[in-house]
Amino acid sequence: MDIISNRNLLLDAQKRNYAVPAFNIHNLETTKVVVEAAEELNSPIIIAATPGTIKFAGARYLINIMKSAAADSTIPIAFHLDHHENIEDIKESIKLGCKSVMIDASALEYEENIAKVREVVEFARLYDVSVEAELGKLVGQEDDIEVSAADSELTDPNLAADFVKRTGIDSLAVAIGTAHGLYKKDPKIDYERLKAIENNVDVPLVLHGASGVPGKDVKKSIEMGITKVNIATELKIAFSDAVKNYFKKYPEANDPRKYLKPGKESMKKLVKKKIKLCGSVNKGSLK
């Protein structure tokens, strides 16, 4: 099996009322953690990489890692560019074999957002690549993209249908009260807004900023139409905390095969927890 686009994954989730978890990775180790956990639970997965991760690891290296993972796997795996703003970088990754991309032009004015997204969609169609875009602005920081509380903006349900129609996107990331990073207090999710958006568009909806959102809120969001849930910050914390604890016990350790192991184990437990939360267990065979 090869890496695939998000399109059929999210349409299946939409039809069967679950969500596909999207896990941000950074290297071979974190990729293997996600794939192994998903295999054990027979869950489809989306493996996501921000611009910073692409710069850190290299697009060609990462895409080849994903292709190897998919070739050895029995579950559907999509490799997804998360919050990418540079169109030329997106096109380069598509040419290398990436099948799913997010063009984030949400910081631009509405018409500029549409124009930039449309350009990516037209190019992506040549390669059978799915495209996600965002309408509204999530507060917080994702990679090098930072949005202050003053500049945040919730998705307008009345604009959502126009945005989807004019861009031709496959999925829509919505701003309904979540934020990138961790929360100082539980977020207040605007469920009425989510329902209005879901009523106005046909494409699958995406929830960003799910790290730290209470499980009951994630489940309710899925029940109301969310089909993709992004998890990033929590994964990094689980991995790094376990590695830090290892070095506290073994300060002279120098073998990455040993000190990375507890990080992988800790992250794997969290990945499984999020897969179960999304309701994607045993959804590895798409209907």
Instruction: Establish whether 134 is an annotated binding residue.
Output: yes
Instruction: Establish whether 208 is an annotated binding residue.
Output: yes
Name the catalytic one among 2, 72, 82, 190. 82
Instruction: Establish whether 252 is an annotated binding residue.
Output: no
CA distance 236 to 156: 32
CB count in 10 Å sphere of residue 97: 17
Instruction: Establish whether 6 is an annotated binding residue.
Output: no
Instruction: Establish whether 84 is an annotated binding residue.
Output: no
Q: How do beta strands 140-142 and 145-147 pair? A: antiparallel
Task: Judge whether 82 counts as a catalytic residue.
Answer: yes
Q: Which amino acid is at 185?
A: K
Alpha-helical segments (H) within the chain: 7-16, 28-41, 51-57, 59-71, 87-96, 110-125, 157-167, 191-200, 215-223, 233-249, 256-259, 261-278
Instruction: Establish whether 233 is an annotated binding residue.
Output: yes
CA distance 188 to 179: 10
Instruction: Establish whether 85 is an annotated binding residue.
Output: no
Instruction: Establish whether 209 is an annotated binding residue.
Output: yes
Specify binding-site residues for dihydroxyacetone phosphate: 181, 209-211, 230-233
Q: Which residues are catalytic?
A: 82
Annotated binding site: 83, 104, 134, 180-181, 208-211, 230-233
Binding positions for Zn(2+) are 83, 104, 134, 180, 208
